[in-house]
Structure 1
Amino acid sequence: MATSTPPSGQSNGNPSQPAGAESTTWDVELLRVLVSRQGTQVDAQWAIHPQLKQDLLPHEWQEITNLMGKISGIVGNRFAQVLSRAEPDPSSNA
């Protein structure tokens, strides 16, 4: 699922900062698209940060679901096309 990454040199705990220190910026992965394959089978999946999902209204969640389904399909199809050109099926001895 989605993750958050602390700034360089920081742990996942709450760092104690001296008074007047600037706030640190965290990189947060809100959305992830994962394309994998097994042999000639290509699978595309997506994930959203749990807090973002909770913050969305039902119609917004449905819109995200529809859009991400399309994106996963496009990415998966493109991956399959590139894969088929890079690794053509071996010829058979029929």
Structure 2
Amino acid sequence: MATSTPPSWPSNNNPSGESPAESTTWDVELLRVLVSRTGTQVDAQWAIHPQLKQDLLPAEWKEVTDLMAKVTDIVGSRFSEVLSHVEPDPPGHA
């Protein structure tokens, strides 16, 4: 599922020059698309941040669901297409 994480700064300083206590900036992952494969099988999944899901109206949630189904179909199909043009690893000895 999507996550939120606190900012990660080097221990001595950060890019903005502010200390972590002075800044309220967080990296938030609102949406994630994950494509994985096992052999020739390709799987595409998506996730949305739980708070964002709660904030959406039912019609908006349906629209997001429909759009993300299309995204995962496109990404998964493209990944499968590229994978089909890659030569398999030659057998070897370990």
Q: If the TM-score is normalised by the length of the shorter chain, which range does it land in?
A: 0.7 to 0.9
Identical counterparts, % of pairs: 76
Aligned partner of 1:68: which letter?
M
With normalisation by structure 1, the TM-score equals: 0.77
Between the aligned partners of 1:68 and 1:34, the Cα distance in structure 2 is: 12
Partner of 1:37: 37
Aligned partner of 1:84: which letter?
S
Partner of 2:87: 87
Unaligned runs of 5+ in 2: 11-19
Partner of 1:60: 60
Partner of 2:8: 8
Aligned partner of 2:28: which letter?
V
Give the count of matched residue pairs.
Answer: 80
Between the aligned partners of 1:45 and 1:81, the Cα distance in structure 2 is: 17
RMSD across aligned C-alpha pairs, in angstroms?
2.0
Cα displacement (A) at 1:8: 1.7
Cα displacement (A) at 1:38: 1.1
The runs of at least 4 consecutive aligned structure 1 residues that moved more than 3 Å come to none
Partner of 1:76: 76
With normalisation by structure 2, the TM-score equals: 0.77
Aligned partner of 1:62: which letter?
K
